[in-house]
Structure 1
Amino acid sequence: MQNYFELFSLSPDFAIDLSALEQTYQTQIAQYHPDKFATHGDKEKTIAVQNTSLINSAFDTLKSPLNRATYLLELQGINAFDEKDTQMDVGFLMAQIELRESLEAIKAEKDEIALDDFIEDISEKIKKNITQIQEFFKENNTNKIKNNVRELKFHTQLSAQASRLMDEWL
């Protein structure tokens, strides 16, 4: 399997230039566009589809802070979501419960203003997680990276739930 960072000529780091990623993606995806291979043989068409799939997967992974951090850990042989690794900060576990209960209360009350505030609060938590992950990668502190990646995943999923709820109400 080709390293996604190498595919886009980027250093394997959490802090990447997203505009460079986007530019390289556009160049590479255009190179393997199926229309360019319409008159080619089946083998060339298959290779083009495989390359397009690889480029899309790599791009989706690297553009997402959560997926990029998870991928970087995987390159080091670390699974951030290993079910056998259950150590998590108790404070965060309690915060998870409180946040879920808050969302449920907002949902029960159909309070759009509270939901908007909740979404904003979760967005701030996501930004904080991303900043911390970047710092911990600089320090090469894999345990803190792993814990913050888990927190980021939780906050990202909670944000998506809250946003879907807002969409339902509007």
Structure 2
Amino acid sequence: MAAGAADGPGRSALTLAEQRQVAEALRLGTPKPVRIPFGVSYVPDGYKLVEVTTNSAQFVPTADAVARLGKPDPLPDVRSLAAIRLSVGRASADHGTPRDGVLCPELPLKGGDVGRMGYCYAFLGDTYVEEARSRSAVDTVELGRMIKSGRFVPLSDPGNWIPVGAAFPASALVGGE
């Protein structure tokens, strides 16, 4: 059990007696899979899932995944420059009029970096878009394949969301499950 630091490393906001009381009261429920409203059946070879939220997933090269997940407390804001970020969100005016197919416009890198960001998206009905982006050598053909392989369950239907273990190919999961 971890307790928040009150006034520095190694110090707890809770007394030992309070920590014991919390630990003794803790009851585990029935395990349930984490579910998300989207998934893809294709991820480029050599990429592993390292982070997932209800609206995004991050994939990094296997070596980066092993290094990141091998740490006792990996920082979620540590980003691999070779990462692929897959996300689902509301369409904006920047996406234009809803239409069929995968679109891969050229986007310059931000922050003064030289080059182009790999970026593709597709509309999910009239309201949402699924996007894939990468600052690495992952080309738009690969990103487009990810988008084309996507599936989406409406946010208003959480009972039918997809278990994370089934939302992505086994080859992209660390440990294959």
Normalising by structure 1, what TM-score?
0.23
Q: Which has the higher contact order (CA 8 A, sep 6+)?
A: 2
Q: Higher helix fraction: Structure 1 or Structure 2?
A: 1
Higher fraction of strand: 2
Q: TM-score, normalised by structure 2?
A: 0.22
